[in-house]
Structure 1
Amino acid sequence: MRCISCEKLSFEIICKSCQKKYLQPSLHKREIEQDFFNYSFYALSDIEELINSKYYFYGDRVFNILAKLSFQTFAKNFNFKENIYAIPIDDHTRREFSHTAILVKYLNSKYIRPKTNCLKAKNRVKYAGKDLKFRQNNPRNFKLSNLYNKTTILCDDLITTGATILEGKKVLEKKKNNVLFSLTLADAKI
């Protein structure tokens, strides 16, 4: 196959050379609610085409590479006093894969355990290109199953306004879960 960036022959959809040259993560921190932070690895403007691959059949290969470079590295360096659960935001399957489930898979480590299929949106409205008011007027209406009184982190591919993450956080907290922070691939405000 050919690298989608440089078009050279490669065993991966993004060759090792382009991964090293263009996809080196850098941790960014944004407060989205008082004392609640989101950590991201890329500016959306730098990887927007790659994020949008979630809508195509080859997106799982792109997300595996991005998650390995960012989420896996984060997990290897993360220390905590207890085990925590990584919760993907609405990990329903699109195009035969769930991009958020791929992300949390790479967080599996000594202190972090992925917990998929527990935070599902009942309202599947698309937020792409929509403003905060639209997002607030059209909540995801998350349903949480099989998770009570645990320490967690929320995971998604992208943060724009933070509305989705905060809605997920509130649902987790109603079941007495402690949400430490959220983790995303990209931040639209960097």
Structure 2
Amino acid sequence: MRCLLCENLSFQIICKTCQATLLVPSFHKREIEDGFYNYSFYTLSELENLISSKYYFFGDKVFNILAKLSFEKFASNFEFDERVIAIPIDDHTRHEFSHSAILAHALKSKFIQPSYNTLRASNIVKYAGRDKEFREKNPRRFKLTNFYDKTTILCDDIITTGATITEAKKALEKKNNKVLFSLTLADAKL
């Protein structure tokens, strides 16, 4: 097959050379609410074409590579005084795989345990290209399964306005869960 980025022959959908040179993550921090932060590994402009692969059959391969380069690396350096649960935001399968579940899975470590099918949107509205006002008028209306009194990290692919992450955080907090921060692959505002 050919690498999606350089089009050279490769055994992976993104060749090792492109992974090592073009997909080196940097760490970005954005305050969403007072004292609550999102951490991203890339700017959206760096990953826009790759993130859109979530709509195609090969997207799981792309997301697995991106997750390994960023989320897995983060997890290997993360320490905490208790076990933390990684919650993918709305991890149901739409295109043969769940991109947010792939990201949460990459966080599995001594200190982090992923939990799937925990936080689901009951309103499946598309936010792509929509402003903050539209997002606030059309909330996801998250439903939380039997999940109480845990310390968590939220995971998603992109942060744009922060509305989805804020709504997910509030849904977890209603059941006495503590949300430390959120992690996303890319930040659309950088």
1:146 to partner: Cα distance: 2.1
Aligned partners of 2:11 and 2:94: how far apart in 1?
Answer: 24
Structure 1 segments unaligned to the other structure (5+ residues)? none
2:133 match: secondary structure:
helix
Counterpart of 1:65?
Answer: 65
Query: 1:85-120 CA deviation, whole Å, 9 max, x = no partner?
Result: 000000010211000000000000010000010100
Counterpart of 1:85?
Answer: 85
Aligned partners of 1:10 and 1:45: how far apart in 2?
Answer: 24
2:74 match: secondary structure:
helix
What does 1:141-160 correspond to in 2, within 5 Å? 141-160=141-160
1:132 to partner: Cα distance: 0.2
Does residue 186 of structure 2 align to residue 186 of structure 1? Answer: yes
Aligned partners of 1:53 and 1:72: how far apart in 2?
Answer: 20
Aligned partners of 1:59 and 1:79: how far apart in 2?
Answer: 30
Counterpart of 2:5?
Answer: 5
Query: 1:112-160 CA deviation, whole Å, 9 max, x = no partner?
Result: 0000101000000000000000000000000000210000010000000
What does 1:116-155 correspond to in 2, within 5 Å? 116-155=116-155
In terms of mean alpha carbon deviation, does 171-180 or 3-12 score higher? 3-12
2:2 match: secondary structure:
coil
Over the aligned positions, Cα root-mean-square deviation in angstroms equals: 0.5
1:82 to partner: Cα distance: 0.3
Counterpart of 2:103?
Answer: 103
Structure 2 segments unaligned to the other structure (5+ residues)? none
Aligned partners of 2:4 and 2:49: how far apart in 1?
Answer: 10
The size of the alignment, in residue pairs, is 190
Read off the aligned partner of 1:143 and give its amino acid letter. K
Does residue 18 of structure 2 align to residue 18 of structure 1? Answer: yes
Counterpart of 2:163?
Answer: 163
Aligned partners of 1:55 and 1:139: how far apart in 2?
Answer: 22
Aligned partners of 1:11 and 1:119: how far apart in 2?
Answer: 35
Aligned partners of 2:59 and 2:24: how far apart in 1?
Answer: 19
1:57 to partner: Cα distance: 0.7
| Aligned-pair identity (%) | 69
The TM-score with structure 1 as length reference comes to 0.99
Aligned partners of 2:33 and 2:41: how far apart in 1?
Answer: 19
Q: Which runs of 4+ in 1 moved over 4 A?
A: none
Aligned partners of 1:102 and 1:94: how far apart in 2?
Answer: 13
